[in-house]
Amino acid sequence: MINVTKTYLPDIEEYQSYVKGIWDRVQLTNNGPLVKELEAKLRDYLGVKHCLFVSNGTIAIQIALKVLGISKEVITTPFSYCATSHSVIWENCTPVFADVSPKDLCIDPARVEAAITENTQAILATHVYGNACDVEALARIGEKYKIKVIYDGAHCYGADLGGKALLSYGDISTCSFHATKVFHTTEGGAIITDNDDVAWLIDRYRSFGHIADNYLTIGINGKNSEFHAAMGLCVLPDVPEIIRSRKEISELYDRLLPFGEKLGSPEWKADLVRNYAYYPVFFESEEALLKTKANLEAHDIFPRRYFYPSLSTLPFVQKESNCPVSDDFALRALSLPLFYDLAHDDVEKISRIVSDSIL
Ligand SMILES: *Cc1c(COP(=O)(O)O)cnc(C)c1O
């Protein structure tokens, strides 16, 4: 069976040696030495001042909204995983969808600007598939209207834009370190910022609002454990090799798949160094997608419809929206299997089945 993704597992003995240390110290959580070590390495790697390890990428977005004092309208993308808009609603804010660009399925800055009202307090944009949003245009809009720019960077660990980590952009960027992502800690996530005051507040919010023995405010439990940090410390050194192998597989797909009128792919930003988080393709119609998916499944190959449905069509998310690009692409977008040790023979087989299904 071939799934859309497969979790990378590091050397088990190395993990066990970290576990031994946890047993020796009898400290399992609450900002232990492995959490601190992982955060320091991530800060170094990303070239940012603060990177706070939290329990997952969804709570990371919720804390980001909370810490920036966002309580009203958040302009966000309809083409993302549901965690993006769910977090907005969970924080009692109102998601306002701005449609995406048909080139890269990232939020369209012109649509963002058109959606601004006096109640807009933030933009929450996703770097879809590890591609980069138009960060310059969004930063300009943020400054012009005095609103915050938050990036859901769940897909983009390891990607660089303009010579720096894609995760370093925005007032806050969040990341997910879920087992399905390029870099993972089993479950986990991070909140990234260069602002000292914001980082200090995030640290309070992720730990019940504690300030020494007392409480600053109402917080949540968003901490992560020594076991999760240990997994991260084991996987982190292997990330360059994981990305190298994913790149090779992606380039093989690029050569073998019948791109043209019946099959498309995103336009990757020119100054982006990709992390090869996903291998998305766009079919001509939902019918063509469903036929291909069924043919792959008949061979025990399981691609995923990332991202389906368009979040703007979820009735409990928003009553009405006007996002034709997202609504259309969500019906036609499929992510093909991509993981560090996917055999090149399997890539050939998958490409052949896709070709046979649509040509
Ligand atoms: C995976 C993902 C998340 C959620 O991350 P978790 O760590 O699973 O909570 C959020 N946004 C996007 C775009 C994702 O793909």
Work out which ligand 1 atom sits closest to the CA atom of 126: 13
Model pLDDT, residue 101: 98
Q: In the prediction, which pLDDT does 68 show?
A: 98
Say what the pLDDT of residue 337 is: 98
Strand partners, 215: 210
User: Is the four-CA dihedral 17, 23, 28, 32 of positive or negative sign?
Assistant: negative
126 lines ligand 1 (CB under 6 A): yes
pLDDT tens-digit series, residues 49-81: 999 999 999 999 999 999 999 999 999 999 999
Which residue intervals of the chain bear CATH 3.90.1150.10?
A: 238-358
What rounded mean pLDDT belongs to the chain? 97
Please choose, from the candidates 176, 182, 224, 165, the residue with its C-alpha nearest in 3D space to the C-alpha of residue 45: 165
Question: Residue 345 C-alpha to ligand 1 middle, in angstroms?
Answer: 30
- What is the CA(176)–ligand 1 centre distance, in A? 5
Atom of ligand 1 nearest to the CA of 306: 15
- Domain covering 238-358 in this structure, CATH number: 3.90.1150.10
Q: List CB contacts of 38: < 8 A, sequence separation 6 or more.
A: 53, 185, 229, 232, 233, 236
The predicted structure's pLDDT at residue 267: 98
**Euclidean distance between CA atoms 58 and 190, whole angstroms:** 10
What pTM did the predictor assign? Answer: 0.97
Any atom of ligand 1 within 6 Å of the Cβ of 58 = yes
Just give the CATH number of 2-237: 3.40.640.10
Ligand 1 contacts CB of residue 154 (under 6 A): yes
Residues spanned by CATH 3.40.640.10 within the chain? 2-237
Handedness of CA 114, 274, 171, 82 (dihedral sign): positive
- What's the pLDDT score for residue 15? 98
- The pLDDT of residue 320: 76
Candidate from 81, 88, 184, 307 with most ligand 1 atoms within 8 A of CB, to mutate: 81
Q: Which DSSP string do the residues of 195-229 spell out, in sequence order?
A: -HHHHHHHHHHTBTTEETTEESS---B----HHHH
What is the pLDDT averaged over residues 342-356? Answer: 98
For residue 115, give the amino acid letter: A
3-state secondary structure of 35: helix
> pLDDT at position 260, please?
96
Digit-coded pLDDT (tens) for 181-214: 999 999 999 999 999 999 999 999 999 999 989 9
pLDDT band at 359 (very low <50, low <70, confident <90, very high): confident
Q: Which residues of 220-246 are buried (b: 16+ CB within 10 A; e: fewer)?
A: bebbbbbbbbbbbbbbbeebeebbebb
User: What's the pLDDT score for residue 12?
Assistant: 98
Give the strand pairing for 172-176 and 164-165: unpaired
Summarised one tens digit per residue, pLDDT across range 98-138 is: 999 999 999 999 999 999 999 999 999 999 999 999 999 99
Query: Which of 152, 177, 181 has the most ligand 1 atoms within 8 A of CB, as the residue to mutate?
Result: 152
Mean local confidence (pLDDT), 265-292: 98
Q: Is the pLDDT of residue 9 over 90?
A: yes
User: Is there an atom of ligand 1 within 6 Å of 311 CB?
Assistant: no
**Per-residue model confidence as pLDDT tens digits over 279-324:** 999 999 999 999 999 999 999 999 999 999 999 999 888 767 899 9
* Beta carbon of 131 within 6 Å of any ligand 1 atom: no
What is the whole-number distance in angstroms between the Cα of residue 342 and the centre of ligand 1?
23
The finding on whether 84 has its CB within 6 A of some atom of ligand 1 is yes
CA–centroid distance, 58 to ligand 1, in Å, is: 6
Residue positions annotated with a catalytic role: 181
Contact 118, 255 (CB under 8 A): no
Q: Is 109 in the pocket of ligand 1 (CB under 6 A)?
A: no
Percentage of residues in the chain with pLDDT exceeding 90? 97
Q: Is the CB of 59 under 6 A from ligand 1?
A: no
